[in-house]
Structure formats: structure tokens, C-alpha cells
Structure 1
Amino acid sequence: MAHHFANGIPAHLLMWQRVREYAVPPSMIETATARRAVGDWAGACAAARVDTDLDLRAVRDRHGTEFVTRLRADLRRLAPDLLRWHMPRIAPDGRLRPGLTVCLSRYRGSGATPLQLVVRTPPAWADAGQRMSLTLWEDSGGGAPRHHPHPHPDRRFRLDLHRHLWDSKRCGELAWRCGADSEPSLTRPDQPRTGGLPNRADLPDRSDRSDRSDRSDADNCSWASTHWAAEAELLLGAEGRRRGAFTVRLAARSRVVLELVAPDDSHAPTLRPLREALPPQVIAALPVLPEAATRVLPDLELLRAGLVARDRLHPLVATALAACGAVAVSGAVAVSGAMAASGSGPATGSARLPGDPHRVECRGEVHRIALRDGTLTAIDHDPAQLRREELLVALGGPALPCLRAIDAVHRSPEALPAVRERLGHGDVAGALAVVKGLLGPAAVLRDGPLREELESAAARRLDHGLFRSGLLAVHPAAGALGGESAPRAAHAEPEHRPRLDRRTPAAMRLKRSIRARPRTGMA
């Protein structure tokens, strides 16, 4: 997608800034770390909102004790909060990419297809709570939920070659894998290419917008092309090859085909564009460089732009990046000043403290509104007077300015954007903590945007429960007449004729492609 710039800050960095603020709260990290430290991997997953669809006893009976030992070792090293920190996300809200199956580890066995430890994200209509599920994938389909839209592991989003993004024992590799120990190097179209990398003009869609007035920001692309050769060597090595061709996905319908050239063991691997053009079917079958290897680490970009402090990062990520000691933050002052002037930063979720009352001008005086006995109250008015004024309002009379301010805070408080962000990322406890700190634990919510947001989040959690139980395979609105998803619901009808595609059997494709002609006799 095209990355727009506001006040000199790329939109994708503002998205990642909100993600780092709300997606993985500190309470989740602390609880998951404490459970992982004592060897309770299931408790750590529960704290990070990861559902475990694993039965180790059944896996042992099916695949043997040796395999279960290797699997249990990976589960104990799994940091689910770190995995959530690095999971693929979509713009503009920064939520988890829906309907995804990500491979975490592959296990070679006696079968032709290796077993894989995978993590799945629900479809978009059932993503309330932003929960994930951890399970074991087999090519035979055992253990794979039939209601999941994409049960097979995705080649583009795979983390088995990037264990430092979820393995607590190997997170120290993050610094050199993401290039944090070197200065950022950007290749411009007018500069000579080195190492056989693709031209800057071949890279996607930030520099192809000719209507931009400031082209300098468009050159700050987040493609980690200087590390593609090393990552391609790992990719092809996992496929059992030392050299060969692979693809890099640049956009939805744009791919570049590169070739890894490694003359011998004493030379560093280099890349070069493929000399001959390949058919689309051959390009689709080539190995795909994972998304985690193609782009610069978002945390590194945020640090270099000064959009996040080091202490706000995940502790494992901050420790790994601090070990290299070469993260540039030259743009921190300029970017922070631009954000302060424009107010484009994320909404802070800090609610007013109970000892810091609101101040309202009421009847020519400045009155205070603060928390008393668990509710927000106008403390400068007598309780009897407040009861009389509330009765007057119920009969249709005008309300006191203090009562109008309390009603406005109940319906649409200042912290409503922060509550929405937390609910969108599944942090229900954090959202309720903000509401309680603002309105008090004994407050009764009134009709308005705040109550609607909380009720909508509760209703969406029911959809997620139905999806998890397998009682609802598609969105409830898929069968609505005239809806956009109506054709999908027709697939379950007996009279439905499936569309011809690459998964259609050859005999059916041949039968459907031949036009039937009526047999007529001649008089």
C-alpha cells in the first residue's frame, strides 16, 4: 500500500507507534514472563491470549516420545508475548493479520512432509480479543480446524527461519539479523548498485507517487535489501540448496525474481536479477523470501525516528538492540517537535487520577468534580441539592453545569480514543482500568459512545467463541440477500457449480470447458 506522510512522519510509523503503545501491554509481558520463568508455557500462552490446541499425550501416542521431547523444549522456549509483538499486522489499525497460519518450527520425521508448530489468527469477523491459537500442523490434515479459512502454513509469513522473533533463548540474534549494528543505507535511483541488488525504481510503491511535493521522504524506504542475500542463503538452505532463484513480494501484484550467487564457501553470497524470464507458473513455485526478512524491523525504524523510547519496547527487544549500542536516534528532536506541534501522536491512555478533580465553572464559581465513594461526583454541591437537581432534570428542567460535565464524561470521555485502541487490540482489562480510573468502579454507564464501544466489544467476543467452537464457519452476514458475501454462502447449496480454478480436478475442468452441442438428425 502507499505510505502517506503527515508532518514528515510516515503513516506506517504512526501505525507501529500505536501498536507498540497498546497491542502488547506491560501487564501481559510481566505475567507471561513470570509464567515462562517457572516453566509454565501454557500459563504464559494464556497470559498472552494464545489458545493452546495441543494435547501432548495424544501427540506422544501418535509420533513418539522423541518428537514430544523436542516439541516440549520449543514450547518452553516460546515467549508468546514476544511472538505477539512481532506478528504481522495490517493497516491502518495495526491489528493482527486475519486468517493467517504462521509456521514457528519444522520437525523432520519419517513422513515426506515435516510436522510444523504453527500459530493461527482468526478471520476478521471473529478477531475480537485479538487472540491466537497454537497447534501442530500435519499435511494429512490432522488437528487442522476445517472452519479456519487458511489452515495451511503461509510461505510469505513464516518464522521458522526467524526464531529470534519468538524464541526467548535466541532473541539476542535480533540485533545482527535486523542490521541494528550498522547505519541505515538507502539506495537511490541515481546511485550505482552494489551486490546485484534490484534498482530502487524496482522497489515498490513509496517512490512511484509523482504527485508528492517532497520526494526526500519517499526515498526513506523500509526495505532491508542489504540483508536479502544472507536471508536468501538461509531460505535456500532450508530447502536443501546452496544457490538458486527466489522471489521477493513487493506489492499485491508485483514480485521480483532474484538469484543467489555463492561461488564457494570463502565468498559472501550476493544477489543478481535473473537473466531469463520465467513463466508465471514457475515463478509461483519458487521459494518466497519471508516478510520478516524483506523489511526493516519496525522497532528499529521507530527508534531511529525518535517515535518510541527504548524503555517502552519489549524487554527482550530492548536488551537485544541495546547490546549492539549503535542505534541512531538523530531525528528524535525534530520528529518529537513536529508531533507536539501537530498533535499527531497516539492518544495517551492515562486517565485522570482520583486526586486530580475536574474543574467546571458553575453559577459564577469554579467547582470541582472528583471521585467519591467509587463514583464521579460534584463535591462542591450538597448531596440533597444534587438529588433535587437530578429530579429537576428528570422532569425536563435544565441541569447544573457540574451535572452536565459529569454526564459528558460518562457518555464521551477524553480517554475514549485510548479505550477504543485498547479494545481494538483485545486489552479489555486495560480499557476497563481506564474507565474505572475516570468514572470510578461503582459508576453506571449511560447511553453514549463509551457504552456502545464496550457493548460492541462484548458482542464481538461471542462471534469469536462461536468460531473457536466450530459452530459458525463463515460470517453470520454471509447469507444475507444482496450482501457482498452472499456468493460465499451459496457454496453450501447442492445446486452450486464451483468456479474453475487450479484446484478443480482435471476431468471436471475438461468437462466444463467443452461446449455441449445438441445432436440433430437430418431429414
Structure 2
Amino acid sequence: MPPGPNTVRTWLLHRRYAVPTAMIDAATGCRLSGDWQGACAAAHVTPDIDLRAVEREHGAQVAAMIEDDLRHLAPDLLRWHEPLDRHYSWSASSEPVPMTRLAGGAGLHLVQGARQGHRRPFRLRVGVSRGAPLIDRHLWDVRQAPLLHTLCGPEPVGTDAVCPHTTGRQREAAAAAGIDATALAEPTSQYSLAGYPLVWSRLVPAALALLARHRSDAGMVDLGEGWLDLRARPTVIATPELRDRPPNVPLLQLSDWQEPLDAELVRHGLLDPDALHPLVHAGLLPGRTQTRRPWVPPVPAVVTIDCGGRTHRLAARDGRWHPLDHEPGHVARETVLAALGGPIDGCADALLHWQAGGQGLRMLPPPVQHLHDELWMRVHHGDTDGVLRLLDAGLPPAVERNGATLMHALRSLDHARVLPRLLALGLDVNARTRSGATPLHTALAHPEAGTDLIAALLRAGADPRATNDQGERPAELSRNPSTIALLDG
């Protein structure tokens, strides 16, 4: 069935937080200056590539072609298009996914790790592949990105050009592409393709390419929720319950013939074209001028909340919340009384939950909750620049629902830049989550945390002997001999 609101929200959050403006600008600047390694670093893509070793193993010509592709790689564009739930621009497998295939099958490969927070680690390698589908070049190569509009349905892409699946005209669109889809199931059927944003003119070429890759003479491809018979006039068979289908019918991925995600989001008014990645905007809307708006940390001078039936103001300054409508010490007294079981009003309640986390965050006043979510979404997506700009704007460091502080989140950020700032704000390097974990515990529980982070925490005063609620010391969570030596030292 078509994606629900939560899936669409995930798509939009990815575009806003996983590929922020600062990342795009930094990666673009490096790429235009010829620094492809710097572009990769800006987009959190790790290139495990030694071009001299490639030349020795595969020859000078292959090495030169790979280097040329790397110089035209937009790693921020690759991250923009990464596979998301219900929209797989390429395979989300942990196996290497080929991006290019040159002489002898050698080429660039993308290796995708398990998500760390909301960010998936990307690594680039050179390897050999045979027959596996490539990541489309328009998803990462600046030379092919302008062709994105050729993969779309009705043109031009805009809110006034809807797709057939929104008007119930999928059969007519298929017929225009020379495909008999009279048997296409209605959108209410569990076997329906009618609710997807499909580009019917892409179906037959994609199916033929799939059959060629599999060296199949079956004349049919599996559409997942139906079948395409190419043995006479291309015909869609709506139900997968086909008893006489030939064996080894290959599966055609929906991404091979559905409309690009950004085109759909723009058509439905869910994404402002000016918020698109510049290369995506140029590809989808050629000729349109994009007005890019710089991101401004959304920290207002004051927020207003309800406090005992009155409207009170909170100001975020110098990393602290300042209640402007209470006498000095009033909020602190209410907090102490609340700890003893007494009543607590809006301002004190908001500040208590901001500082202590816990399930009570669901009860934060909306403007305060919005600021909390803005900060932690940028943390979980690894947006160091965004986090620092929020702190620079005066936003106090917030605590997550599980009691984690920004100290616990350093593994997701550039700790060399963030840790000194957190120490200056007075954050405790030995703060504990609801399960008793210190920042050292949290870092060591994730293998990707490097020894440099562990060493920085120790220099800042982290206690290597602290135990969590399970009685475990940080060293007991690590399998890295170098890290254990640091802790024992």
C-alpha cells in the first residue's frame, strides 16, 4: 500500500537533518576545488581507496577512470538519496553495492554500515562485481544529476502536475506507454500497484535490462505485487498467484520504474523546491532559479508557556533557561518541593524536565518541546555544526528521555569541537543515564567509537572505575585492546 504519514515524515526529516545546508556547502566547496577526500569527509563518507594500489592491481587506465569518477562524485548527493523505508533508491544490503563497473568488473563500491543514531556509515571501496545492478549515476555523479527530470512522470515537476496514481488514471498512463494494464488491481486490493507513483514509460526498458542481466529468456518479470508478461504485447497481470509462470522469474525493484522521491514530494506540496539539494533542484526543475535560505537556529528571544493559568516567559541565554516572570529562587524552591511530592507549576515543571529528561518530556510546552527535538534531531544525525550553532544561540543543553546528556552523544558528533564547549557550559563528564551509564559506558558500548574519544573523555575527568546499574565498568564493555589499555592506564 502507499506510504503512510509516518513514512513521509521520515523522508522529510532525512532531507532536513541528515543532509543539512552546511554539509552540502562544505562538500560542494571541496569538490569544486578538486578535493574529493575533503568532500567525502564533509558528507561523512569514508573512502577506503588507495589509487596507487588500484593501479598496481587493475592497471593505470582503470585507476585513472576511478579517480575521474571520484572527482565528479557528490557524496552529499549520495547521502541525500540513501535508501529509506518504502523508497529504496538502491539496495540497503550490508553487502557492497557497485557504483561503477569498468574493465574486468572493477569499480567503485558503496559499503553501508548499521545506523548510528539516524546516520548510516558510508564507506567507498574499489572491488570487482559481476552482474549486480549499479547505483544509478544520477544519484551521485554531478555529470548525470541534470538528467533526473527524464526519470519523472508528468512534466514539468510542480504542484500543478499530478501523477496518474493520484487521479486513478494508471491504466491510461500504461496504455500510453504501450502496456496493457486493464487487469491492474484497484488501489483497495492487497495486490495493487495503482497507488504507487509509477512512470510507465520506464517499465519495459527496466524489465528488459533486468532480463538481460539475469540472462533470462522467461519473458516475464516479477513486479512484487503483480507480473509483467513481455512475450507478446507487454501486459500486467495483477495477482501474483500465477500457476503457469516460468521458473526463475527475476524481481524488478519498484525503484527501477517509480518516480524519484523528490519529484513526488514537490508535486504534493510536501517539500519546498527551494529546500531541495541544489543538484536535485537543477535536475528536477531545469530553468527554475532556486532561492536557498540559510539555516538560522530557531532559538527565539523568549518562549511563552502556561504557568498556573498565566502566560509566562522563558528566555534562553548563555546556555541556561531564565524564567522572566518569577522572583529569584522561586523556581528552585518549587523544584525541591516537587521532589518531595509537592505540586509544581509550568515554568518549574518545564525546566525540571528539560534538565532531567524522562518520560515527562512528553508534557513539555510545545515551543520548548520543539527546541528539544531540534537539538536532538541534529545530534542523532551527526550535525556538529547545527548543534554548535544552537548552543551558540544560547540554547541550554537538553537531556534525552533516557537521561542521556550531550556528553553521552559525543560519539555521534565531532567530539574535538563539541567536548570543550560542553565542559565550558558545566556539563558533567560523569553524568548518568537512567540505566546508570556514564559517557564512557555509552562510548564503549559502540564499537565505532575511537580511542581518541575515549582519551578525550579521560582527560576531561571521566571515571574509568564507575559502574553502571549492571555493575559493569567501562572496560568490560570494550573488546579493543588499545581502548582497554587506555582505561587501565
Q: TM-score range by the shorter chain?
A: 0.5 to 0.7
Q: Which has the higher contact order (CA 8 A, sep 6+)?
A: 1
Shift of 1:221: 2.4
CA contact (8 A) 1:103 1:117 kept: yes
Q: Are positions 1:3 and 2:29 aligned together?
A: no
Once the two structures are superposed, the pairs formed by residues 76-87 of structure 1 within 5 Å of their partners are: 76-87=71-82
Match of 1:414 in 2: 369
Change (3 A) 1:460 1:91: farther
Match of 1:115 in 2: 106
CA contact (8 A) 1:52 1:134 kept: yes
Pick from 143, 147, 152 the counterpart of residue 178 of structure 1.
152
Task: Decide which structure has the larger Cα Rg and report it.
Answer: 1
Change (3 A) 1:451 1:260: farther
Match of 2:122 in 1: 132
Match of 1:250 in 2: 223
Change (3 A) 1:392 1:417: closer
Match of 1:224 in 2: 199
Q: What letter is aligned with 1:370?
A: A
Change (3 A) 1:353 1:130: same
Match of 1:451 in 2: 404
The secondary structure found in structure 1 opposite 2:189 is coil
Q: Are positions 1:322 and 2:305 aligned together?
A: no
Q: In 2, distance between residues paired with 1:52 and 1:299?
A: 27
The secondary structure found in structure 2 opposite 1:34 is helix
Q: Spell out, residue by residue over 1:6-64, the C-alpha distance to the aligned partner (whole angstroms, 9 max, x if none).
A: 6xxxx654443333333322121111111111111111111111111111121122222
CA contact (8 A) 1:98 1:127 kept: no
Q: CA RMSD in A?
A: 4.5
Q: Are positions 1:296 and 2:259 aligned together?
A: yes
Q: Are positions 1:62 and 2:57 aligned together?
A: yes
Match of 2:189 in 1: 208
Q: What letter is aligned with 2:271?
A: V
CA contact (8 A) 1:117 1:135 kept: yes
Match of 1:44 in 2: 39
Pick from 266, 271, 290 the counterpart of residue 308 of structure 1.
271
Q: Are positions 1:199 and 2:144 aligned together?
A: no
Q: In 2, distance between residues paired with 1:428 and 1:40?
A: 21
Q: Are positions 1:463 and 2:454 aligned together?
A: no
Once the two structures are superposed, the pairs formed by residues 2-41 of structure 1 within 5 Å of their partners are: 2-3=1-2, 12-41=7-36
Question: Is the deviation greater in 175-184 or in 297-306?
Answer: 175-184
Q: In 2, distance between residues paired with 1:259 and 1:45?
A: 42
Q: What letter is aligned with 2:263?
A: L
CA contact (8 A) 2:221 2:249 kept: no
Change (3 A) 1:271 1:371: same
CA contact (8 A) 1:174 1:320 kept: yes
Q: Spell out, residue by residue over 1:430-470, the C-alpha distance to the aligned partner (whole angstroms, 9 max, x if none).
A: 45655775742xx4x55745737984795489535179xxx
The secondary structure found in structure 2 opposite 1:87 is coil
CA contact (8 A) 1:100 1:122 kept: no
Q: What letter is aligned with 1:256?
A: W
The secondary structure found in structure 2 opposite 1:66 is helix
Q: In 2, distance between residues paired with 1:132 and 1:295?
A: 25
Match of 1:405 in 2: 350
Q: In 2, distance between residues paired with 1:115 and 1:63?
A: 7
Shift of 1:323: 1.3
Match of 1:356 in 2: 302
Q: What letter is aligned with 2:446?
A: D
Match of 1:337 in 2: none
The secondary structure found in structure 2 opposite 1:463 is coil
Change (3 A) 1:20 1:97: same
Runs of at least 5 residues in structure 1 that lack an aligned partner in the other structure: 140-151, 262-269, 326-348, 468-523
Q: In 2, distance between residues paired with 1:104 and 1:93?
A: 15
Q: In 2, distance between residues paired with 1:350 and 1:92?
A: 30
Shift of 1:406: 1.7
TM-score by length of 2: 0.65
Match of 2:453 in 1: none
Q: In 2, distance between residues paired with 1:163 and 1:447?
A: 39
Q: Are positions 1:104 and 2:94 aligned together?
A: no
The secondary structure found in structure 1 opposite 2:63 is helix
Q: What letter is aligned with 1:402?
A: C
Pick from 235, 253, 259 the counterpart of residue 230 of structure 2.
259
TM-score by length of 1: 0.61
Q: In 1, distance between residues paired with 2:328 and 2:313?
A: 14
Match of 2:249 in 1: 283
Question: Is the deviation greater in 450-459 or in 27-36?
Answer: 450-459
CA contact (8 A) 1:163 1:171 kept: yes
Q: Spell out, residue by residue over 1:460-495, the C-alpha distance to the aligned partner (whole angstroms, 9 max, x if none).
A: 89535179xxxxxxxxxxxxxxxxxxxxxxxxxxxx
Question: Is the deviation greater in 397-406 or in 40-49?
Answer: 397-406
The secondary structure found in structure 1 opposite 2:142 is coil
The secondary structure found in structure 1 opposite 2:353 is helix
Q: What is the identity percentage for the equivalent residue pairs of Structure 1 and Structure 2?
A: 28
CA contact (8 A) 1:250 1:256 kept: yes
Shift of 1:68: 0.9
Runs of at least 5 residues in structure 2 that lack an aligned partner in the other structure: 289-294, 362-367, 412-441, 451-489
How many residues get paired? 391
CA contact (8 A) 1:108 1:115 kept: yes
Q: Spell out, residue by residue over 1:91-128, the C-alpha distance to the aligned partner (whole angstroms, 9 max, x if none).
A: 5999993525322111123xxxx11311121246x676
Q: In 2, distance between residues paired with 1:418 and 1:249?
A: 42
Once the two structures are superposed, the pairs formed by residues 145-164 of structure 1 within 5 Å of their partners are: 155=133, 158-159=134-135, 162-164=136-138
Change (3 A) 1:324 1:389: closer
CA contact (8 A) 2:151 2:199 kept: no
Q: In 1, distance between residues paired with 2:89 and 2:444?
A: 19
